[in-house]
Structure 1
Amino acid sequence: MTEKDTPEPAPRKRADARRNEQTLLDAAAAAFVESGVGVPVRDIAARAGVGVGTIYRHFPTRADLIVAVYRHQVEACAEAGPALLAEGPTPHAALTRWIDLFVDFLVTKHGLAEALQSDNAAFESLHTYFIDRLLPVCTELLDAAVDAGEVVSDIEPYELMRGVGNLCVGAEGDPRYHARRMVGLLIRGLRTH
């Protein structure tokens, strides 16, 4: 391979372009939760304060937008874990706050569920991405809380994430069911006595 054949690195996005993309992703996530993934692109653009063309410049297809929203939500949740642990005041408090963010993410994820369950090839790797990014964060938080003697040691991080996820399923369709309250009971039940 000659120097001429070496591919040029992709240009880095300007800070304002990255901010615009983050604003679009936040607006799309909120719109998906509120109105489903079929929400008109013009509604997302209005919520983000941009033109429709800006959305299509960043995300040429609806599938591109859905994948980007999902990844954006996963990354926000993953990045929050270590920050919450550093903030304290205790590992259990950090775990509790992270689980609360995880529940927020799951609400968005369930808003995307219909699209994610389609046979669109763009969505195939998202579940693996979700587990690969969030399971280590949950493990770190849970291990810290166990090491501090704040929670029982006989629960696996995957079990905890799966349990929280199952408590959130269908919550949006039943006004008498409060998933966040049930998740709170689960988290309190982890405490050592």
Structure 2
Amino acid sequence: MRADALRNRERLVEVAQSAFATNGIDTSLEEIARQAGVGIGTLYRRFPTREDLIAAVLAERYLKLAEVAMVLAEERDDPDVALAEWLTLLAEHMALYRGLSMAVKEAIHDQTTALGRTCKEMVDAGERLLERGQRMGAFRTDITFFDVLALCSGIVMAVERRSEKPNHDDLPPLSPYLLLDIVLRGLRVEDR
């Protein structure tokens, strides 16, 4: 890739990170291109679909989440503690960009897409943490990591939706940490 093309790509990813954090993943691609100082054609040459741009924004972060999962598996004797710490990081990450949790939930089953491929290593790492806990008798064996990921996605979407309803001041804010604790309690083997 030529130096100017690489700079344009890096600038688009940088602007998209900021725009997604502010306005969610449905931010106008035209606005991202404008803020990056490039034409929309340049954006589409680098990222033919919105999903390709989202995948580029997430790539480094998902690689770090996968690395953290490996470290937790090595450093935490208790698989419950390891998975709880990792799922907390995952939920916090998914909450960074409004709409991301649904996009990830849909993409993880399709490795032919850029986002699906970007998610794969992160999903594999989470799956290894869950399976380790299942082998050690900490977690129910009838649950898959995709079940857990769907629940985490649901938590993030519920918190997002509650925060988008300013007319419901009578409703207490949802705590993603409390909801995640409820999910983790459901994963655990009862006689532990």
Using the size of structure 2 for normalisation, the TM-score is 0.61
Runs of 5+ consecutive residues of structure 2 not aligned to the other structure: 3-9, 105-111, 164-172
Contact kept? 2:152, 2:180, Cα under 8 Å: yes
| Residue identity opposite 1:191 in structure 2 | R
| Residue identity opposite 2:22 in structure 1 | E
Shift of the 130–109 alpha-carbon distance from structure 1 to 2, 3 Å rule, reads: farther
| Residue identity opposite 1:88 in structure 2 | R
**Cα RMSD after superposing both structures:** 4.0
Contact kept? 1:29, 1:108, Cα under 8 Å: no
Shift of the 83–28 alpha-carbon distance from structure 1 to 2, 3 Å rule, reads: farther
2:141 pairs with 1:153: yes
Shift of the 126–167 alpha-carbon distance from structure 1 to 2, 3 Å rule, reads: farther
Contact kept? 2:68, 2:86, Cα under 8 Å: yes
Residue in structure 2 matched with residue 187 of structure 1 by the alignment: 184
2:145 & 2:19 partners in 1: Cα distance?
30
Which residue, out of 68, 72, 81, partners 1:84? 72
Contact kept? 1:36, 1:112, Cα under 8 Å: yes
Give secondary structure in 1 for the equivalent of 2:85.
helix
Q: How much identity, in percent, do the aligned residues show? A: 22
Residues matched between the structures, number:
162
1:139 & 1:105 partners in 2: Cα distance?
17
Residue in structure 1 matched with residue 109 of structure 2 by the alignment: none
Give secondary structure in 2 for the equivalent of 1:169.
helix
Per-residue deviation at 1:130?
Answer: 4.6
Q: How does 1:5-24 map to 2 (within 5 A)?
A: none
Per-residue deviation at 1:185?
Answer: 0.9
2:23 & 2:156 partners in 1: Cα distance?
18
| Residue identity opposite 1:134 in structure 2 | M
Per-residue deviation at 1:94?
Answer: 0.9
Runs of 5+ consecutive residues of structure 1 not aligned to the other structure: 1-9, 12-20, 46-51, 117-123
Moved over 6 A (4+): 24-27, 59-62, 113-116
Using the size of structure 1 for normalisation, the TM-score is 0.61
